[in-house]
Amino acid sequence: MEPSLWPPWLTLVASRPRNWLGPDQPKRTQAAMMNEKPEVLNLSLRQMIRTRLAAGSLFPVGGKVFGSKGTGQLCTVCGMPIFATEVENEVANPQRACAHSACYPIWMEESRALRESRQ
């Protein structure tokens, strides 16, 4: 079996329970995710972030973020560990949270979009 080129947290996001991704997200297998293009994975992650922001299970972020070597903390966005071989983005406000390098920019964009839609 050929090893996956995708980080484990991206390939496993779809194996979460259906209600974790939101009611309109179909349950997808790890094998299906491994065959998808990065754009499709980003769209799935973006939709999950939008759903969680709207439901209040993920807080909007904005402001300073500090990057460092992964410490094994769970990503606030996708729930997967941030390994030492990955960059861990630490958010200090409004509360402390950690996110993968791929998760944080989308979280930031969707948070900004949410704030703008409320104005």
Q: Are 30 and 41 contacting, i.e. CB atoms less than 8 angstroms apart? A: no
pTM: 0.66
In a domain, 43, yes or no: yes
In a domain, 59, yes or no: yes
Number of domains in the chain: 1
In a domain, 2, yes or no: no
For helices 103-117 and 38-55, give the axis angle rounded to 10 degrees: 50
Q: Would you give per-residue pLDDT tens digits along the chain (119 residues)?
A: 455 555 554 444 444 444 444 444 444 443 444 445 566 678 889 999 999 999 999 999 987 899 999 999 999 999 999 999 999 999 987 788 999 999 999 999 999 999 999 88
In a domain, 44, yes or no: yes
